[in-house]
Amino acid sequence: MTTDATPSTEQTSTTHTDADMKITINPQRAATLTSNLEHIHQRISSALSSQSSRSSPPRLVAVSKLKPASDILTLHNPPTSHSHFGENYVQELLEKSKLLPSSIKWHFIGGLQSNKATHLARDVDSLWAVESIDSEKKATLLNKGRAERNERLSDSTPLNVFIQVNTSGEDSKSGIAPDSSELVSLAKHIQDTCENLHLQGVMTIGAIARSKATTPETENEDFICLRETRDKLAEKLGIEKDKLELSMGMSEDFEGAIRQGSSEVRVGSTIFGERPAKKDAKVLEETEAEKK
């Protein structure tokens, strides 16, 4: 992977995507994004250095919510060729998925409304995972949407799903309580009745205070809770615990999450920079010529 991307002397470069739309890439911005992503990979490697028994690094989901399509295309193109990107809003993901290459593996990581679940699973062709499942109703609707998508595309690939667990107990956080019977019931519902879904694992968004208080010498309580919850759930489902992934760790705490066994980290602002307000975000940015 190249780390010393050099800005071009040209102002912009233009790329055509599958949808034949023009997405303009700024070389200076591209160099910054490439460098940021490489730095994250270096930090992941460093966090892994203490885990000699681990066979593979965690999956890195680049959280691109409220960022333009050009940022995503920049990192998906060589030399970085990054594939996994996370989005929080259904409409934004729908727009981006139509503009960008079908080789991107999209993760929906935001709060999911029941009335949008079928739409999401049906119309985002390259949706790889939904990570915020917290009810049987939503699972059933996603299963329905995926079935319609698979029939349209003559495909049989199931949609990966993660059950969101509220490890911090905060009212502001979505997810199922870690010690509830609802968690096991939902997992069995996905396994037994949703043939177009695959239970990939469990996910948490931990408390910010716990993330800030965690040091390299201590363990994050949210990550301990998710790991123990996963282990108990796997036992009740009669499967090996490694069959259920742990999606935990974000920009502020992904290194600690890796040290505690995370299978997947979700990193946004450390790669893309601060996000604009939702009302100011644009999927397609205007060029200087278009602004005039």
Residue 169: pLDDT above 90?
no
pLDDT for residue 9 is more than 50? no
Q: Is the pLDDT of residue 55 over 90?
A: no
CATH 3.40.630.30 is the classification of domain 13-273? no
* CB atoms inside a 10 Å sphere around CB 11: 12
- What is the rounded average pLDDT of the residues 203-213? 83
What are the backbone dihedrals phi and psi of residue 228, each rounded to the nearest 5 degrees, phi first?
-65, -35
In eight-state DSSP terms, residue 87 is E
**pLDDT tens column, 242-274:** 999 999 999 999 999 999 999 999 999 999 999
Alpha-carbon separation of residue 46 from 8, 57, 82 (angstroms): 31, 11, 20
pTM, to two decimals: 0.90
Segments making up each domain of the chain, as ranges: 13-273
Would you state the pLDDT for residue 21? Answer: 60
pLDDT at residue 142 greater than cutoff 90: yes
Share of the chain above pLDDT 70, in %: 90
In the prediction, which pLDDT does 172 show?
A: 81
Predicted confidence at residue 16, as pLDDT, reads: 47
Find out whether the peptide bond into 27 is cis, omega within 30 degrees of 0. no
The mean pLDDT of the chain is: 90
> Cβ contacts of residue 281 below 8 Å, gap of 6+?
66, 67, 68, 92, 275
